């Protein structure tokens, strides 16, 4: 089948996005999704996003990991699809859309997208790591000399041995300044390190505040693919008004045949 697609990236976290408002894409064809995302035999992407009609919101976001399976919330994907909605003329600057974890709000100004994430109710602090859900499950762990750290091997081990078949994303963190942290993430579903992970840096920002490594509620996160920022409000034992902010860029348009 032939359809038009758009390639997007948000700090190196890259996606194929398809306008599926006419419901023509074969959503149950996981092999096709995996083939499109394949970097040697397809377009190449960390995931595939479908923009669909919604009864009350501006649109619905459907997200597949690069393995072809439907997945949990993708923060950078949410930012990229908001930019895409503006490109299509569905929205002007502000949007409300539904993702797998509920409703989200976003603001798009040029290539800068601010995405409101879900509230974070529970942050579990352990001796050597922190675990929390920011739309996707995340393990956060501090390491020394992050640039030399074996993210793939250690991330894969933790993802499988600690969290089993369901798995979790694994973030390794090094502190640079009072409110600046470097982050590298092993993502389940991609089963590899990605250049950036939106829900991951959101989890890291909250985890760093929760454990007292920063007292700032606006945190800069440096990933291999670029810089993101996360701001939030601590309310009781949880976090509200959590925003993931950074660039989103349309790279190219193509036709799948």
Residues involved in catalysis: 74, 197
Q: Locate 53 and state its tokens.
A: 């009609």
Strands 130-133, 123-125: pairing is antiparallel
Contact between 48 and 64 under an 8 Å Cβ cutoff? The reply is yes
Sign of CA dihedral 35, 40, 42, 47: positive
- In 3D, which of 250, 222, 14, 244 has the Cα closest to residue 118? 244
Start-to-end Cα distance in the chain: 6
H or E element that contains 154? helix 151-157
């Amino acid at each position: 089948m032939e359809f038009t697609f758009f390639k997007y990236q948000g700090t190196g976290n890259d996606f194929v996005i398809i306008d599926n408002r006419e419901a023509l894409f074969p959503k149950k064809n996981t092999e096709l999704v995996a083939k499109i995302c394949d970097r040697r035999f397809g377009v190449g992407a960390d995931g595939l996003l479908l923009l669909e009609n919604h009864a009350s919101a501006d649109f619905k976001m459907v997200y597949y990991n690069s393995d072809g399976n439907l997945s949990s919330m993708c923060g950078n994907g949410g930012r990229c699809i908001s930019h895409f909605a503006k490109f299509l003329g569905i929205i002007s600057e502000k949007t409300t859309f539904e993702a797998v974890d509920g409703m989200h709000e976003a603001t798009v100004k040029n290539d800068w997208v601010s995405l409101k994430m879900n509230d974070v109710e529970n942050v579990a602090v352990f001796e050597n790591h922190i675990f929390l859900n920011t739309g996707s499950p995340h393990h956060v762990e501090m390491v020394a000399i992050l640039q030399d750290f074996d993210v793939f091997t250690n991330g894969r081990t933790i993802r499988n041995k600690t969290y089993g078949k369901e798995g979790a994303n694994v973030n390794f963190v090094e502190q640079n300044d009072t409110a600046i942290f470097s982050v590298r993430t092993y993502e389940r579903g991609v089963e590899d390190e990605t250049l950036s992970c939106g829900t991951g840096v959101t989890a890291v920002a909250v985890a760093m505040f929760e454990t007292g490594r920063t007292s700032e509620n606006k945190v800069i996160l440096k990933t291999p693919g670029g810089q993101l920022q996360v701001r939030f409000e601590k309310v009781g034992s949880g976090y509200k008004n959590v925003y993931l902010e950074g660039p989103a860029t349309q790279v190219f348009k193509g036709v799948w045949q």
